[in-house]
Amino acid sequence: MSTALNEYLRLAEPHLSPRLISATALADLERLARLMPPVSASGFECRLGREEAQADFGVRFLASDGSRAMLAGRVDAGSALPSSLFSHPVWERLRRFGARWDTPGTLLEQELGDVFLEFDVEGTPPPVPIPSFFIEYDRRAWRRLEAMEEALALLWGEPLAPAVRERVVACLAALPSGGSVSAVGAMFSRRFDGVRLCLQGLGPSTLPYYLLRVGWPGDPREVEALLARVAGRVERMALSLDVGATVLPRLGVECHLADSLHEADSERWASLLDALVTQGLCLRAKRDALVEWLGHTHLRSRPEALPGNLRALSASLGPKALPVFLRRINHLKLVLQPGRPPEAKAYLVLIQRWLGHDGQRRRYVFGDLQEVRDAVLG
Nearer to another protein, 86 or 366 (CB): 366
CB of 45 to another protein, least distance (A): 11
Q: What is the dihedral of CA 198, 199, 203, 207, to 10 degrees?
A: -90
CB of 199 to another protein, least distance (A): 10
Nearer to another protein, 37 or 218 (CB): 37
Nearer to another protein, 96 or 320 (CB): 320
Nearer to another protein, 34 or 357 (CB): 357
The C-alpha atoms of residue 322 and residue 303 are separated, in whole angstroms, by 10
CB of 162 to another protein, least distance (A): 27
Nearer to another protein, 88 or 296 (CB): 296
Nearer to another protein, 40 or 54 (CB): 40
CB of 42 to another protein, least distance (A): 8
Nearer to another protein, 67 or 200 (CB): 200
CB of 300 to another protein, least distance (A): 6
Output DSSP code: residue 251. Answer: E
- Residue 149: closest CA among 162, 140, 139, 138: 162
Please report how the helices 220-228 and 207-214 are oriented relative to each other, as an axis angle in degrees rounded to 10: 160
Q: Phi and psi of 168, rounded to 5°? A: -60, -45
CB of 358 to another protein, least distance (A): 8
Beta-strand (E) ranges in 150-227?
Answer: 180-187, 195-200
Task: Give, in order, the Cα–Cα distances in Å from 184 to each of 127, 132, 134, 181.
Answer: 27, 11, 5, 8
- Residue 336: closest CA among 229, 186, 215, 214: 229
Up-side HSE of residue 38: CA atoms within 13 Å toward CB? 20
The C-alpha atoms of residue 133 and residue 61 are separated, in whole angstroms, by 11
Residue 277: partners with Cβ closer than 8 Å, 6 or more residues away: 283, 284, 287
CB of 235 to another protein, least distance (A): 14
| Chain residues in the site for another protein (CB under 8 A) | 41, 43, 58, 60, 114, 116, 134, 136, 182-183, 198, 200, 238, 259-264, 296, 298, 300, 319-322, 324, 326, 328, 330, 347, 349, 351, 353, 355-359, 362-368, 371-372, 375
Nearer to another protein, 100 or 296 (CB): 296
Q: What is the dihedral of CA 312, 330, 176, 172, to 10 degrees?
A: 60
- Residue 366: closest CA among 256, 260, 292: 260
CB of 244 to another protein, least distance (A): 22
